[in-house]
Amino acid sequence: MNSSDEDRRHREKMKKWKELQDKEVANKKISKGVLAVHTGAGKGKSTAAFGVALRMLGHGKKVVVVQFIKGAWLTGEREALKRFDDLVEWHSMGEGFTWDTQDKQRDIAACERGWSVAQEALKKEDVALVILDELNIALRYDYLSLDLVLSDLKSRPVMQHVIVTGRNAKAELIEAADMVTEMTPVKHHFDAGVKAQAGFEF
Amino acid sequence: MNSSDEDRRHREKMKKWKELQDKEVANKKISKGVLAVHTGAGKGKSTAAFGVALRMLGHGKKVVVVQFIKGAWLTGEREALKRFDDLVEWHSMGEGFTWDTQDKQRDIAACERGWSVAQEALKKEDVALVILDELNIALRYDYLSLDLVLSDLKSRPVMQHVIVTGRNAKAELIEAADMVTEMTPVKHHFDAGVKAQAGFEF
């Protein structure tokens, strides 16, 4: 097969793909706020959520972040988002990983304060995206009522997007979600003795 | 078991976790630039990369983005990163998905231009993070030489982080990478007829 044949075949294949793609896009007519869950043991759950935040901010939309557990680990994101203080509200409820506090009642109180703040955001039409960072951890340890959380999520403004992050998402939340992505670790540099580094990990 | 017993048990468990965690951190002594690959058919590959970019920017570090394929899909990120024009360089090489161009030679030329730009960034000590967005697609279609790409990645500054995104990462790239995360779609709202929305998808 000579090069121009190959080019023609490529062109035809891509044309078919494009038709399929256009048809798929045409079939999607619903606009609505998406409830997304980022779960799994791999990296990138919170990171991908903040990537979506960045995108929203690029469209001039408002974002609220409620951090449930890991108080100390989003320093870079938090600092960077200060350039968007016209559009971003940031609430930190956790005091670090739960194994740092060793005090279950204090953790529960922090999660409950966090949920009150989340409830406010989940009522505001002008908030385009609510990030509930590590909410899955709070739910896993039953620090918050799953029923309450699901009901508040369900009654939020119809166009509002929500991203819930954290390992071990509850089955009921996965059921309620529009989009669920599992981040699966295939290979990790921590296993090779590389330490967490400013900018890359926090 | 009464509530204070339960609290004590929780405290002990968390204490053990913390000791394990501290030990793990202490064993990690290497600082080096990480070569990360975000692959898989799920959402969040590019998005997580831009989350890392946001984190780097929060630490005042320089970021270079080279977009190989999907010219039209990162509008939000691109707009948002204009607030960091002191720290971010953005290069778009693709003209949209390949099935939009239907011209293989033009796609190859765009990828080669992209790689020249990437090579410049991969030589600069003061660039903390290079995002090679959808490079995996360019490699998959053999629009770029895998050997050349691997060799340039290998000879980059020792502290420079690189994130390569796109489905179907080549085995040789996965082998060379320090960190590989596969984004696996568990559930997607597109399947329920929800269309791509500004801010959430682009």
Q: Which residues of B51-63 are buried (b: 16+ CB within 10 A; e: fewer)?
A: bbbbbbbbbebbb
> ipTM of the predicted structure?
0.71
Give the model's pLDDT for residue A35. Answer: 96
Put simply, the answer to whether B29 touches A193 (Cβ < 8 Å) is yes
Put simply, the answer to whether B199 touches A76 (Cβ < 8 Å) is no
Give the model's pLDDT for residue B70. Answer: 64
Chain B's closest residue to A130, CA to CA, is: B200
Put simply, the answer to whether B80 touches A84 (Cβ < 8 Å) is yes
B117: closest CA of chain A, how far (Å):
22
CATH of domain A33-185: 3.40.50.300
Chain B's closest residue to A84, CA to CA, is: B83
Measured between beta carbons, which residues in chain B are less than 8 angstroms from residue A181?
42-44, 183-186
- pLDDT per residue as tens, chain A (202 positions): 566 787 787 777 777 767 776 776 666 667 889 999 999 887 788 888 999 999 999 999 999 999 988 655 788 898 999 999 999 999 988 665 555 556 788 888 889 999 999 999 999 999 999 999 999 999 998 999 999 999 999 999 999 999 999 999 999 999 999 989 888 877 777 776 777 777 777 7
Within 13 Å, how many C-alpha atoms sit on residue A39's CB side?
A: 22
- pLDDT per residue as tens, chain B (202 positions): 566 787 787 777 777 767 766 776 666 667 889 999 999 887 788 888 999 999 999 999 999 999 988 655 788 898 999 999 999 999 988 665 555 566 788 888 889 999 999 999 999 999 999 999 999 999 998 999 999 999 999 999 999 999 999 999 999 999 999 989 888 877 777 777 777 777 787 7
Q: How far apart are CA A115 and CA A67, in angstroms?
A: 10
Put simply, the answer to whether B189 touches A195 (Cβ < 8 Å) is no
CA-based Rg of chain B, rounded to a whole angstrom? 20
Measured between beta carbons, which residues in chain B are less than 8 angstroms from residue A98?
14
A109: closest CA of chain B, how far (Å):
14
Residue labelled with tokens 């024009």 = B85
A106: closest CA of chain B, how far (Å):
11
Put simply, the answer to whether A48 touches B52 (Cβ < 8 Å) is no
B116: closest CA of chain A, how far (Å):
24
Query: In what order do the strands lie in the sheet containing A62-67?
Result: A88-92, A62-67, A127-133, A161-165, A35-39, A179-187, B179-187, B35-39, B161-165, B127-133, B62-67, B88-92
Helix (H) or strand (E) holding A138: helix A135-140
Give the model's pLDDT for residue A8. Answer: 80
Put simply, the answer to whether B161 touches A44 (Cβ < 8 Å) is no
Fold category of B31-192 in CATH: Rossmann fold (3.40.50)
Q: How far apart are CA A130 and CA B24, in angstroms?
A: 33
Q: How far apart are CA A155 and CA A119, in angstroms?
A: 10
Rounded to 5 degrees, what angle do the CA atoms A37, A38, A40 make?
125
Give the model's pLDDT for residue B131. Answer: 97
